[in-house]
Amino acid sequence: MYGFINNCLKSLVVEKFGEETWIKLRDGAGVQDTFLTYEVYKDEITMQLVAEACKLLGAKPEVVLRQFGEYFFEFCKRSGYDHMLRTLGGNLFEFTENLDALHSYLALSYKEMNAPSFRVERNPDGTMLLHYYSDRRGLCHIVPGIIGAVAKDFFNSDITMEIVNQLEELERTGKKEHVVFLVTQWPAVAARSSAGSSKTGPFPWTQSLQPLASRHNAMIWIKEPLHHKRSSICLSMHKSHWEMIRGLVRLGKGKLLRGFEPVYPMTLNIDLKTFCHAFPFHIVFNEQLVVHQAGVNLQRIVPGLQTMSIHLDQYFSIVHPEVTFTISSIRKFINSHFVLQTRRDMMPEAWDDRPMLQLRGQMIWMPSLDCMLYQASPLLRSLQELEERDMHISDIAPHDVTRDLILLNQQRLAEIELSNQLERKKEELRLLSQHLEEERRKTENLLYAMLPKHVANQLKEGKTVEAGEFKECTILFSDVVTFTNICSMCEPIQIVLMLNSMYLRFDRLTTVHNVYKVETIGDAYMVVGGVPLPVSSHAERVANFALGMILAAREVINPVTGGPIQIRVGLHSGPVLAGVVGEKMPRYCLFGDTVNTASRMESHGLPDKIHLSPTVYQALKKKSFVFQKRGEIEVKGKGRMVTYFLERNFGVSEQQIMGLSDVEAATGQQDSQKSQPDLHRPAFQQQRRDDLCLIPMEYGDNVSEPPPSAHMSEPQTCTAIKPRDSESYGSLYTDDQSDDGALDQLKDTDEFGQAGVKYTEKHADGLDSEQHLINAAEGTNNGSKRTRTRFCVVL
């Protein structure tokens, strides 16, 4: 089928059910998205679309095809065929009778069109039998939709169509599917009035299929008294007296126009030679197909016709309609146009390399002579076809519109070719636009992964992003325990795989709790809540994120020991200044003492513990979190501070913290029990977990994208300081100018260890276990050597 049909089906689905339904239908059928109007596609594509539509919509094929038929009529009108369809006939019978002629005309543009064929018969009771022939089986239910829409739109009537027979006629040589419809027609107004009538009941009659003009001619003007109201019985009451006289009487003759009868001469006033020259491609043959007469140009092209008493089927075959070449078959389909084609074996040798000549015309039965007149013209679509058959315009009679048709269609074919090129270019542009949109989306996603969305949008627009102050936020730092020892004992690829497996899990948690990942340096991971989107639940979000980090770290294998890795986590809440730093690879950085304190909470923490500052504890103490008071410890650069450990959140489950459903969590636990310790296993397992659907955790406040300047104060001045040890992982110090970071850290570790033993309050075995963790922390810190990095700080 041509792409016009598939485009109509696509338009129907998109208009009635939406673009998403078409995408599902297209993907389910496995077909392309667009179709070129004049491109031929396999019938299987249309059949797959129809079958998938029935499956997707849960409807029977008859219903889908009927609705498609109704929409196809509207689609044709929108495509420029409205006037052409309206002029086919004055009533439904004439319209249906001329459908084959319409298809014949459209075949000039759609050369490979294999259209169905129609034949119509009148019944004495006013109904009609519509014969439908097609090479495609299963599409007959489109016909009631099309004919019903035509009757309602063009003739203001309703119809019912029911299948009364499905058979194969012996006369047919092609289009084996033959379906006979019984068509009953009645006026739409009468149908509506009968439905609402309570006295007389349903309207008892069906409208005769006579032409509307004939019914109008049969009306008789009835003069009514003046006191009668106007009624629908006589529509002529609206006319004036003189209009009525002019309509009924022919001026000067006195004969009624509405009773026209043709007048025939006593004898045919044309001689035989003139007739054969005036109609150079006609043929007269009898019931035995014996040729009695032929046009002069046809005799020149087919010399065998000059032989007396030859049979027409010896030199021609019937191309359309596909019936047997007998007089009974021809008379049965006499209302159809006939296309005859010359037989190559009966043509002169000069035609061996030429396409065969086709004639298209009308069969007219002459009862007085018991002969059939075939009045035809050459079936030529373009000047090229005329030249291929070594013919000229002069071979066609001057009165034959085939002359004009060839010239006009030559221009139309050029326009069609241009239209095809435009459609192809349009499709190429659509695909390029689609690919460009995909690449743009990838680029934006990558950019939004590096910078906040509103900041990235400002940078794309060439604007300067001013730094802004956030009054409240919560910052988290984490690092891997004994990371330096692990690096010294493993291959670089093992370190990369381990960090990637860990960071993939952490990144997943940022989506679950809607916190912002600031950056990673080595094994350090920095997250902030309440920036760049201010929320009141920033501390709660970061706390749940920290609990998820501890759970996720248990799934990452230490390549040295083969067991889970251990991390330290520190949290602190307070004000920060946030802004974009640099032009090459710009970064969204946080500045202020809050960053420094959060880093100190991490560096003074314990393995697999979440270390909280007093401000975080105050923000969370009324929530559903469980804490362990650590007591007062010495914090480098901060003095003595009372800190706490976050143990759990009894208000939510671990599955909710990890963003998993109960089924996903159970599957993950089973996989973990079955798996053996393997460095590569966590990465594969994480890939499977990433494919699962995330379930964002619900919080009391709503997070929305703020305007670029929302919740930000005027930019403040930043001054550069001496480089610090990278224990801060990008944090900015304001109180310590010493470069001997490693030594100070070791001292802090000793003090921190003593303070940790002194202020541990819970559990009887807490002293021994914490002393063990302190020793591990001392070993880690003594062996820790990291690259020093210069940063900027806000004073």
pLDDT digits (tens, 9 = 90+) for 676-703: 334 334 443 444 444 456 788 888 775 5
Section 767-791 average pLDDT? 38
Give the DSSP H or E segment for 177.
strand 177-187
Do 480 and 569 have their domain in common? yes
Give the integer Cα–Cα distance in Å for 360 and 319: 10
Reply yes or no on whether the pLDDT at 610 is more than 80.
yes
Q: Which of 354, 376, 392 is a domain's end point?
A: 392
pLDDT score, position 59: 87
What the block records as the tokens of 484 is 């330096």
Residue 150: which domain range? 3-117+140-158
| Domain contains 104 | yes
Do 438 and 545 have their domain in common? no
**Nearest Cα to 566, choosing from 478, 439, 500?**
478
**DSSP 8-state symbol, 564:** B
Residues whose CB falls within 8 Å of the CB of residue 575, separated by 6 or more in sequence, listed in order: 469, 470, 471, 472, 473, 592, 594
Do 481 and 442 have their domain in common? no
| Domain contains 86 | yes
The pLDDT-based confidence of 182 (bands split at 50, 70, 90) is very high
pLDDT score, position 378: 92
Task: Count the domains in the chain.
Answer: 4
Q: Nearest 5°: CA angle at 73, between 69 and 74? A: 120
Reply yes or no on whether the pLDDT at 137 is more than 60.
yes
Reply yes or no on whether the pLDDT at 356 is more than 90.
yes
| Domain contains 574 | yes
| Domain contains 773 | no
Q: Which of 658, 680, 711 is a domain's end point?
A: 658
Q: Which of 158, 184, 214 is a domain's end point?
A: 158
> Which stretch of 153-162, 580-589, 755-764 has the lowest confidence by average pLDDT?
755-764
**Axis-axis angle for helices 142-154, 61-76 (nearest 10):** 40
Identity of residue 532: P
Give the bridge partners for 578, in sequence order.
468, 590
> Which stretch of 307-321, 413-427, 601-615 has the lowest confidence by average pLDDT?
413-427
The pLDDT-based confidence of 454 (bands split at 50, 70, 90) is confident
Do 346 and 414 have their domain in common? no
Q: Of 38-47, 261-270, 408-417, 615-624, which has the strongest mean pLDDT?
A: 615-624
Phi, psi of 486 (to 5 degrees): -65, -40
Q: Output the CA torsion sign for 664, 666, 667, 672.
A: positive
Do 420 and 483 have their domain in common? no
Q: What's the CATH number where 46 sits? A: 3.90.1520.10
* Sheet arrangement for strand 128-134: 117-122, 128-134, 177-187, 157-166
Q: What's the CATH number where 515 sits? A: 3.30.70.1230
In contact, 567 and 462? CB cutoff 8 Å = no
Say which residue, 733 or 131, is predicted with more confidence: 131
Report the length, in residues, of the chain: 795
Do 330 and 405 have their domain in common? no
Q: Of 397-406, 421-430, 527-536, 682-691, which has the strongest mean pLDDT?
A: 527-536
Give the integer Cα–Cα distance in Å for 116 and 110: 14
Do 296 and 445 have their domain in common? no
| Domain contains 34 | yes
Say which residue, 427 or 794, is predicted with more confidence: 427
pLDDT digits (tens, 9 = 90+) for 281-338: 999 999 999 999 999 999 999 998 888 789 999 999 998 888 889 999 899 888 888 9
**Nearest Cα to 65, choosing from 134, 164, 165?**
134
| Domain contains 696 | no
Identity of residue 252: G
Do 370 and 472 have their domain in common? no
The pLDDT-based confidence of 364 (bands split at 50, 70, 90) is very high
pLDDT digits (tens, 9 = 90+) for 29-75: 888 878 888 788 888 888 888 888 888 888 888 899 999 999 999 98
Helix, strand, coil % (nearest 5) of the chain? 45, 20, 35
**Segments in 254-397 forming alpha helices (H):** 272-278, 296-301, 327-332, 383-388
Give the integer Cα–Cα distance in Å for 640 and 745: 16
Give the DSSP H or E segment for 519.
strand 516-521
Do 472 and 511 have their domain in common? yes
**Nearest Cα to 109, choosing from 226, 2, 242?**
2
Say which residue, 560 or 240, is predicted with more confidence: 560
By CB atoms closer than 10 A (0-12, 13-18, 19+), residue 295 is buried
> Which stretch of 55-69, 170-184, 433-447 has the lowest confidence by average pLDDT?
170-184
| Domain contains 111 | yes
Do 413 and 371 have their domain in common? no
The percent of residues in the chain predicted with pLDDT above 90, rounded, is 30
Do 281 and 341 have their domain in common? yes
pLDDT score, position 170: 65
| Domain contains 731 | no
Give the integer Cα–Cα distance in Å for 69 and 427: 27
Identity of residue 364: I
What the block records as the tokens of 218 is 């049969």
Give the integer Cα–Cα distance in Å for 693 and 664: 9
Reply yes or no on whether the pLDDT at 109 is more than 80.
no
By CB atoms closer than 10 A (0-12, 13-18, 19+), residue 638 is middle
What the block records as the tokens of 466 is 């001013």
pTM over 0.75: no
Reply yes or no on whether the pLDDT at 727 is more than 80.
no
Do 430 and 468 have their domain in common? no
